[in-house]
Chains A and B, each alone.
Chain A
Amino acid sequence: MNTWLLLLPLLLPFAGVPLTLALRKRRKIQSALALGLMLAALASTFGLLRAVLTTGQPVSVQMGSWQVPFGITLTADPLGVFMVLMSQIVLSAGLIYSLGSTEKVVQYPTYYPLFLALAAGLTGAFLTGDLFNLFVFAEIIVISGAVLTAIADDTYGVEAAYKYFYISTLASVFFLLGIGSLYVAHGTLNLADLAARIASNPSAPLTMTGMAFLTATFLIKSAAFPFHFWQPDFHAAAPTAVSAMLSSLVVKVGVYAFFRMTALLFPEVTLLKTLLVGVGVAGVIYGGFGAAGTHNVKRMLAYSTLAQIGFILVGIGWGTPLSLAAALVFTFNHALVKAAMLMLAGAMASRAAVKSASFEVVVGVGKYYPFAGVLFLLGGMALAGIPPLNGFISKLMIFWSGVEAAQYVPLLIIGVASIVTLTYVTRAFIRIWFEPNPKAKEKAGDRLLAPALLVLLSLLLGVWAEPLVSLSQWAAAWLGDPAFYIAAILR
């Protein structure tokens, strides 16, 4: 039973790709099927979470029943299931948004297959227990994300996708070099096995080189400064529902990999953690100012992701149980909020005179949509870390862990950067909802159900934060002792 609970979250969206492709001429059935499969996958993820919680052990399955490390392992350990849960919630919202979207792209026959492929890639990346298999899932994410952006209504989509694809290809080369180095050094690809072997022979030649290449790879994937260049264009140009996924989930693959690297593969390398703190702080500064400096809401939110990823990397870099839990809480909350905010930005852009998220165009559009305004204000508060939204819990925990770990300088910087967040969010809100614009007219646009659900969830997780926080602490505790993970897989 548990095996199926582990397989279904991945298998359902994967099988959905050919099924929705075959149904490409029946758009209504196609989209309903896509959403149905995603919701079923979400439900099985909850079942998976329950299984992991009740047994207190990771659920794992060997593909083709080949024993570890010769076959590929799928593993739902606390971290993995946490990330999958986050992804599937947001992905479901993304599909709901797509269903109510007025963009042309959602009407293309291949939109839903591509979206489901993205979902499968994300789920697989978080569930696989094999380094090379992770590479393959990362490829799925890259190609589906790139294509979905290239076919966007936004004419810059192709350029953005092109840049992203180029840079991702470079990342893939780094990834392969990293995998190759580690394979040469330790002769295995299974994460648990690899971790055990690195621990027993940390100075094997090429171990550090492998780590360096993996670091470069995941810094690109998580769009950390200065590996971020593809991100603002890419996230801003993508179709709204897709950009919401890219900015909230896809960059988290890199973040996830850093959890694994610092906790499982290379727990002894302090230089890596220091580097993450440095890169994170730089991202917090750069992303914050970048967001304040753009003239486009979607782009602003893309830059904001850069900063928020910075916060998370800082938490991972500090590496204390509390800071890891804080980073996890941050990861989850940011996914909900960023997706909701991008959807709201897109929904307002769809109601503007010309379809654009540029401030010049969307200024004052909010006049006729006070409900969207309430959602945007709440989402903005969450982004800026203001209670009672979930973003406050993230900020509280990250600050707290910084105080506890006596990391005063990074703490000071991320504190100051929080004010920048507040500034750009408030300005965006004032521009869209408060400033008058005679050109703004009432107009049909993208439906607001999906962002409303996400904001509601953000509010709920701010008021009733205990489930998420205790889940994160539990996952962080597992991260704190890699021996448990290794033993659970290699048993």
Chain B
Amino acid sequence: MQDFILALPLLLLGAGTLTALAFSRSGWSASRLGWLLSLFALTSFLLILYAFTLVPSGKALTFTLPWIPSVGLDFSLYLDGLSALFALLITGIGTLVVIYAGQYFGGDASAWRFHAYTLLFMLAMLGLVLAGDLITLFLFWEGTSISSFLLIAYKFKDEAARKGAFKSLFITGGGGIAMLAGFLFVIHLSGGADFKTVLASGGFLRASPLYPVFFALIAFGAFTKSAQFPAHIWLPEAMTAPTPASAFLHSATMVKAGVYLLARLNPALGQTDLWFWTLSIVGLTTMLVGAYLGFKQNDLKPLLAYSTVSQLGVLVALIGQDTEIAFKALVISILAHALYKSALFMSAGIIDHETGTRDLRKLGGLRRQMPLMFGITGIAALSMAGLPPLFGFLAKETLLASATHPSLPPIVDSLFPLATVLAGALILAQAALAVWGVFLGKPADEKHPPHGHDPHFAFWLAPAVPAIISLLIGLTPVEPQFLVEFLADAAKAAYGDKVKISLALWTGINVPLILSIVAVTLGSLLFWQRERIRAWMTDFLPNFTTNALFDGTVSGLDTLSRTATRLQGGRLRVYLRILLLSAIVLVVLFNGIPRQISLPALTWNIEGLNGLRMFSLVMLTVSALVSVFVRRDLYAVIALGITGLGVAMWMALEPSPDVALVQLIVDILSTVILILSLSLIPRKLRDRANELLHSRRGMVRDALLAGLAGLVVAGLAFTALNTRPRESVVSPFYAENAKPLTGAKDIVGAIVVDFRGADTLMEILVFSLAGLGIYTLLHYATRKSSDRTREEPEKRLKPNTPRGVFNLPTSPMLHTLAYIMLPLAFLLGITHMMYGHDQPGDGFTAGVIISLAIAQWYMLFGYYETRRKLAWLNRNNMIAAGLTLAVLNALGGAVFGGGFFSPVDYGRMLRLPLPPGFYLTNSFLFEVSIALSVMGAATLILDNLGHPREEDLEADADLAALEEKQ
């Protein structure tokens, strides 16, 4: 359980983040909060230090928590030399950065946000290097991307900050996705995500034919994160982040994540030609590009950023080598770079903070005003330049030693040292440029020299610590044994074999030293001729940048996006056409295109084709054709209605009277609804739509499509008739059991309310919803806007003169008809409900018949008169009652019968005297509930479509109340 100590620093940093959030409204100054929060970071540092003493040399400490055991994923932590090196840098520099940030933001009470982001970032970064498996590593990897996005966008009012943040997230996030895919390949092949398994299956992984794929994916992720050419462009723009963030993210931590990953996986994936060439080429290119671009800069932060890019290139190139010395150089460079670069960034922040600018053209001559900063910056810059006796010198010496290692293949063996010397010279010149530009040279504008003075202790302490450590490591006469062992451990984990480390600066006169002298000389020359060279550089390839790649990608994405949205043209006809065609394609695709179409021999069986059937067929066909070709929509609707009648007639002759009856009623209802709807559309619009509909091209296209669809359906029907199994599975059961089990003579009735009653229950809900929908749409939604005419109250109460639809007067004879029709309809409806089980007709037909009779009232008497005369007719309540009754009725089956929806004969149960042929069963009650809800919904539809502009007192009150609320 002592391994739990590995999780403690992470928990602590999490607690730190929460603490920062908790202090958001405390009004604490940034500096005070910084001191408090630095304790979290410092304790983490000490904990890791302590944990590392528990690690047996060359082994690792692990902590595993099952995370998603069902797919074999753990949350695991892992501490060995390599992770310890990074973890200590992160928490150590992190502690300093938190204190420093406190000073940087001073009394700013809103900087808790910055502190929270920093702690969150530290947590993610620490988790990344402590992760014990690839998935855990990825979790934290993405965490660093997100938290650095927040840090870069900290000053989000600044457009550059937003752009920089987006760019960094886009590039590192994209890399992350590739990397995740690469990881999954590795996990799949090696059979586990944890590093022990992965590192142990190195040989197998390298031999896999997929090796180039996952190597490329992982390397891509690492390169984007570690700002390798050509993905380095996000790093300089990320300098819009406040300086404390830059000092932390872009010197010691985030950008090193890719380096860490490559080093970590080197024993498993490295030592191949692909690995060597990719890492060497990318690394060396990045080194040169970074060094070259850095020398052009005038702003301190981008200058430092480009030198970081260059240094990251060095590290990547070193990991590519398969030599012991390269890994010695790697660990020394990591440490040296983290120390001097964080010191330099923090110093740059102080200079900016104190003088108000970071521009080298405005600065100069500050050595007298800021002697302390001059000292700190000077030491760090010397280390960056790689001059003795600083730690940076050692880093450069070992780098040169590995660049001239005899195992390098030809061409590389000369290019590598050459590039290193060149880059070294450029970096040296940059270091000189920075120190000279700020402290030594004269300010460009003599009249307005920069003002500033050394800050107070806590502020300069942060950069001083790493700078002094750089100096101490170089100066100490005896090699600090613990450091040597520590670095050797780290190098061994990355190299996979023992690495001998020595920290002696003087190793005698050898090739690296000579090259180093060459580099220093060259660098000094560059610095001496800096004006001329920098002027030349601005002219030569002035716009040299790979930003075009990023911009191109993003604008390409945007172009494709616009194309994609343009496909969505908004025209329903086009959509329907595509859908119909696609469906036809699917049918053909799944059936396969038949090699030969062989129609079975058709035998015309005209026995059953009597006169009536002929008539219904002709009626059907002719009216269908008319509905297509007739020019006026009203006639088309009527023709369509006749088609429906033809179908009903055919069904009646089949004979299937139930279907015929329902078809008849539905046909009438839908025709009425369609005509009413048409009447709501202004005549002009309708005429224009008719014209458009009958354009020649449109007709041809639609005819083709309709023909095709018709063919498919005809083929389907034809096959169905020819292949139908004569013995259906369910029909015989229904035929046999309708009477004995449900008491229904009519099989259809039994199916509708008993065997498949649940379907019916849901369908009446659908019908009710349609009614409610039309009601709400016409009475609320379309009237809510302010263009609704508000009439005077007295005008609203219309006189009682019966006025029909469209306010036309209606004749008394029609009134009499309506008076007679309604009771008749009720009588008819009630018989349908009572005997629906034995005869055609059921609750649905009953409901529609009654509502059609009521609709006639609305037509003839108008809205107000009908409401007055039929005051009992509350449609909404009727729907509610019908549906409630239906549910209760189904529950009744469960209480009194065998189960939910089971048949119950209440009449027999209660021994009620009932008319013959009528049974008070729950089937009957179901019919009643169907009738109620259908009646409610159908009257809602008919009434609302018929009288859309009439006032509705209930809705008006609601809408008025709503408007008051707003």
Interface residues of A (CB under 8 A from B): 3, 7, 11, 14-15, 17-19, 21-22, 24, 61-66, 69-72, 104-105, 107-111, 113-114, 117, 120, 124, 132-133, 136-137, 139-140, 143-144, 146-147, 150-153, 155, 157-158, 162-163, 166-167, 170, 174, 177, 180-181, 184-189, 193, 197, 204-206, 208-209, 211-213, 215-216, 219-220, 226-227, 229-230, 232-233, 269, 271-272, 275, 286, 289-294, 322, 381, 384-388, 392-393, 395-397, 399-400, 403-404, 408, 411, 415, 418-420, 422-423, 426-427, 430, 433-436, 465-466, 469-470, 473
Contacts and interface: CB of A to CB of B under 8 A. Distances in A.
Nearest to A22: B880
A184 B876 contact: no
B553 to A, nearest CB: 9
B766 interface: yes
Given A18-B879, A64-B899, A146 B728 contact: no
B733 A70 contact: yes
Contact of A289 (B174, B557, B876): B557
Contacts of B902: 64-65
A293 B730 contact: no
Interface in B926-966: 954, 958, 961-962, 965-966
B899 A152 contact: no
A389 to B, nearest CB: 10
A434 B561 contact: no
Contact of A140 (B153, B725, B730, B766): B766
Given A292-B557, A419-B173, A422-B173, 14 more contacts: A63-B901, A66-B755, A72-B756, A110-B773, A113-B772, A133-B758, A167-B579, A184-B724, A197-B729, A216-B587, A293-B565, A386-B145, A397-B71, A473-B70
Nearest to A155: B785
A360 B879 CA distance: 44
Contacts of A71: 755-756
Contacts of B162: 430, 434-435
B139 to A, nearest CB: 4
Contact of A158 (B587, B763, B768, B777): B777
Interface string B567-590: 110101001101110110011011
Given A18-B879, A208-B591, A400-B184, A11 B887 contact: yes
A303 B558 CA distance: 15
A17 B883 contact: yes
B602 interface: no
24 contacts: A3-B900, A18-B882, A18-B887, A63-B901, A64-B757, A65-B902, A70-B734, A72-B756, A72-B759, A109-B776, A114-B773, A177-B716, A180-B720, A187-B729, A212-B589, A292-B558, A408-B213, A415-B181, A422-B170, A430-B165, A434-B156, A436-B157, A466-B66, A466-B67
B799 interface: no
A153 B576 CA distance: 27
A144 B769 contact: yes
A435 B158 CA distance: 9
B603 to A, nearest CB: 19
Given A64-B757, A177-B716, A466-B68, A209 B591 contact: yes
A404 B757 CA distance: 46
B474 interface: no
B579 A209 contact: no
Contact of B572 (A166, A434, A469): A166
Contact of A64 (B139, B145, B754, B776): B754
B188 interface: yes
Contacts of B883: 15, 17-18, 21
Contacts of A136: 759, 762-763, 766
Nearest to B785: A155
Chain B binding surface SS class: helix
* The 3 residue pairs across chains A and B that have the minimum distance between CB atoms: A293-B561, A147-B773, A18-B883
A436 B187 CA distance: 45
A133 B170 contact: no
B898 interface: yes
Contacts of A232: 568
A166 B576 contact: yes
A63 B903 CA distance: 10
Contacts of B847: none
A19 B884 contact: yes
A3 B713 contact: no
Interface in B822-842: none
Contact of B720 (A66, A147, A184, A403): A184
B765 A120 contact: yes
Given A109-B958, A167-B575, A430-B153, A290 B564 contact: yes
A61 B576 contact: no
B781 interface: yes
B729 A186 contact: yes
Given A104-B962, A140-B766, A290-B565, A271 B772 contact: no
A436 B70 CA distance: 46
A187 B880 CA distance: 36
A386 B582 contact: no
A403 B759 contact: no
B590 A430 contact: no
Nearest to A393: B68
B106 interface: no
Interface centre among A21, A132, A163 (most CB of B within 10 A): A21
A104 B713 CA distance: 44
A98 B48 CA distance: 50
Contacts of A7: 900
B575 A163 contact: yes
Contact of B770 (A143, A418, A436, A470): A143
B893 interface: yes
A289 B583 contact: no
Given A157-B781, A387-B143, A212 B153 contact: no
B780 interface: yes
A275 B562 CA distance: 26
Contacts of B754: 64, 66
Contacts of B384: none
Given A117-B769, A215-B586, A22 B166 contact: no
Contacts of B769: 114, 117, 140, 143-144, 147
B184 A187 contact: no
Given A140-B769, A166-B572, A170-B580, A213 B587 contact: yes
A136 B884 CA distance: 19
Contacts of B734: 70
A117 B757 CA distance: 18
B640 to A, nearest CB: 15
A108 B958 contact: yes
Contacts of B724: 184
B755 A70 contact: yes
Q: Which among A136, A137, A226 has the highest number of chain B CB atoms within 10 Å? A: A136
Contacts of A163: 572, 575
Interface in B765-793: 765-766, 768-770, 772-773, 775-777, 780-782, 784-785
Contacts of A418: 177
A108 B776 contact: yes
Contact of A226 (B146, B181, B554, B578): B578
A88 to B, nearest CB: 18
Nearest to A400: B184
Contact of A209 (B590, B731, B897): B590
Contact of A215 (B184, B185, B563, B590): B590
B187 to A, nearest CB: 8
Contact of A72 (B138, B185, B758, B881): B758
Interface in B859-894: 876-877, 879-884, 887, 893
B891 to A, nearest CB: 8
B12 interface: no
Given A21-B772, A63-B900, A71-B755, A150 B777 contact: yes
Contacts of B719: 205-206, 209
Given A15-B887, A147-B776, A423 B557 contact: yes
B758 A19 contact: no
